[in-house]
Amino acid sequence: MAGNVTILVIGRNGQLARELAALSWPGGVNAVFLGRHDICLANTLAARRQIAALAPSAIINTAAFSRVDAAETAIDACWELNARLPAHLAGLADSLGVPLLHVSTDYVFDGAAQEPYGESATTNPLSTYGLAKEAGDRAVLAATGRVLVVRSAWLFGWHGDNVLTRILARCHQLSGAALRMVDDQIGSPTPAAALAGLLQALAFELIGGHRSLPRLLHFAGQPRTSWHGFATAVLDTWSRAGHFAARPALAAIPSSAYPTAARRPAFSVLDCRTATALGFPPPDWRDALDRLARGWTERRAA
C-alpha cells in the first residue's frame, strides 16, 4: 500500500477488534482502534471532529451490542449500537469521502430456508439483536457513499466471550454432568481471525479502488453444523491436544430443552459464493480449532 494510510477501527477490546489488532499490518498503514472509552459515539458532533482529525482512509465498524439474550431487555442500548450507530457512521464516512466496512450477522434471517442464505435473501429477524442489526444493515446500505456490509456468523477465537470460550467455560462447571448442546440450530461457525483478515483485505481493496466490490457480502466458515456438532468438534480437538484429563460427556438436546430469552434461527447457513468468486473462500473452522487448541493454554494465560 503506497503512502501513509490510517485505517480506523471502531472497537478496541471486542473479539473482532482484537483479531484485527493481531493482524500484521503493512508498513505505512496505521491501524487505529477506538473503543467505548476512547470515543463517545453518541455525541455525533464530537465524534465527527475526532474521526475527521484522524483523516482515516477507511473505517471498519466492529462495535455492536452482541449479547443476544441480554438484548431482549436492553432494547434501547441494542438499537443504539446496532442500528443508530452504523447509520451515523455511514453518513460520517460519506461526508469524509471514505469507505465504511460494517459487520453484520446471520441472525437477520428467520431460519425457515432449506438452502444457504445468499446476499439477496429476504431478512426476517427473530430477536431484538437481529432486528437491530437488520436495521443497521439497511441504514448502511442506503447510504450514498462507499459501504460494504459483511455478514458473518458464529464467531469464535482467542478473545472475549464467544461460542468457543463459552463451551470451554461450561466444561469446567460440569462436575461430571454432560454438556448439553442444542442440535436443531444449524449454522456456519467462523474463525474470527479469518473474518478480520477478510476485512483488512477488503479495506485495502476499497482504498485502492482497483475493482468494483458488492455492497453486501456473506462470509462464514464451513462446513455447516449444529451447536452440538461444533461442541463435539471442540471436545474432540481439545482432547487430542491433551487439555482434558477426562473428555466431558456431551448430550444433544432440542432448542425447547434450552429456553433462552431470544429466539434463534433454526438454519442460518450463509451462502458464500460471492466471496469465493472474489477470492475469499470460506475458511474450514475445524482447521482453526486445531490451531487454537495447540496454543490455547499459553495464549489465554498471556
Ligand X SMILES: Cc1cn([C@H]2C[C@H](O)[C@@H](COP(=O)(O)OP(=O)(O)O[C@H]3O[C@@H](C)C(=O)[C@@H](O)[C@H]3O)O2)c(=O)[nH]c1=O
Exactly one of 35, 145, 197, 229 binds ligand NDP (CB under 6 A); that residue is: 35
Q: What is the rounded CA–CA span in Å between residue 222 and residue 280?
A: 13
Exactly one of 109, 154, 158, 267 binds ligand NDP (CB under 6 A); that residue is: 154
Query: Which of 93, 195 has the CB closer to ligand X?
Result: 195
Exactly one of 9, 10, 86, 106 binds ligand X (CB under 6 A); that residue is: 106
Which residue has 495464549 as its cell numbers? 299
Site string for ligand X, 163-202 (x = CB under 6 A): x--x---x---------xxx--x-----------------
Q: By CB under 6 A, tell whether 219 contacts ligand X.
A: no
Scanning 151-159, 180-188, 210-218, 237-245 for contacts with ligand NDP by CB under 6 A, the matching segment is 151-159
Query: Which of 17, 92 has the CB closer to ligand NDP?
Result: 17
Residue 41: which of 87, 97, 104, 94 has the closest Cα?
87
Query: Which of 14, 111 has the CB closer to ligand NDP?
Result: 14
Q: What is the rounded CA–CA span in Å between residue 1 and residue 282?
A: 25
Name the DSSP class of 183: S
Q: By CB under 6 A, tell whether 188 contacts ligand NDP.
A: no
Sign of CA dihedral 159, 166, 119, 263: negative
E-strand ranges in the chain read 5-10, 29-34, 58-61, 100-105, 147-152, 155-156, 179-182, 186-187, 190-191, 216-218, 225-226, 250-253
Residue 10: which of 199, 236, 231 has the closest Cα?
199
Amino acid 185 reads Q
Q: By CB under 6 A, tell whether 200 contacts ligand NDP.
A: no
Exactly one of 118, 145, 160, 197 binds ligand NDP (CB under 6 A); that residue is: 160
Q: Are 155 and 122 in contact (CB under 8 A)?
A: no
Kindly identify the residues of this chain, within the stretch 237-276, that bind ligand X according to CB under 6 A: 255, 258, 260, 264
Q: By CB under 6 A, tell whether 187 contacts ligand NDP.
A: no
Q: By CB under 6 A, tell whether 230 contacts ligand X.
A: no
Q: What is the rounded CA–CA span in Å between residue 220 and residue 177?
A: 32
14 makes contact, choosing from ligand NDP, ligand X, none, with CB < 5 to 8 Å by partner type, with: ligand NDP
Residue 102: which of 10, 6, 177, 13 has the closest Cα?
10
Cell of 251: 448430550
Residue 191: which of 22, 64, 47 has the closest Cα?
22
**Which residue number has the CB closest to ligand NDP?**
14
Task: Please list the active-site residues.
Answer: 129
181 makes contact, choosing from ligand X, ligand NDP, none, with CB < 5 to 8 Å by partner type, with: ligand X
Name the DSSP class of 36: T
Amino acid 218 reads H
Query: Which of 43, 276 has the CB closer to ligand NDP?
Result: 43
Q: Angle 285-301/227-240 helices, nearest 10 degrees?
A: 60
Q: By CB under 6 A, tell whether 62 contacts ligand X.
A: no
197 makes contact, choosing from ligand NDP, ligand X, none, with CB < 5 to 8 Å by partner type, with: none
Peptide bond into 223 cis (omega under 30): yes
Binding interface with ligand NDP (CB under 6 A): 11-17, 35-37, 41, 62-64, 66, 81, 103, 105, 133, 152-155, 160, 162
Binding interface with ligand X (CB under 6 A): 66, 68, 105-107, 153-155, 163, 166, 170, 180-182, 185, 227, 255, 258, 260, 264
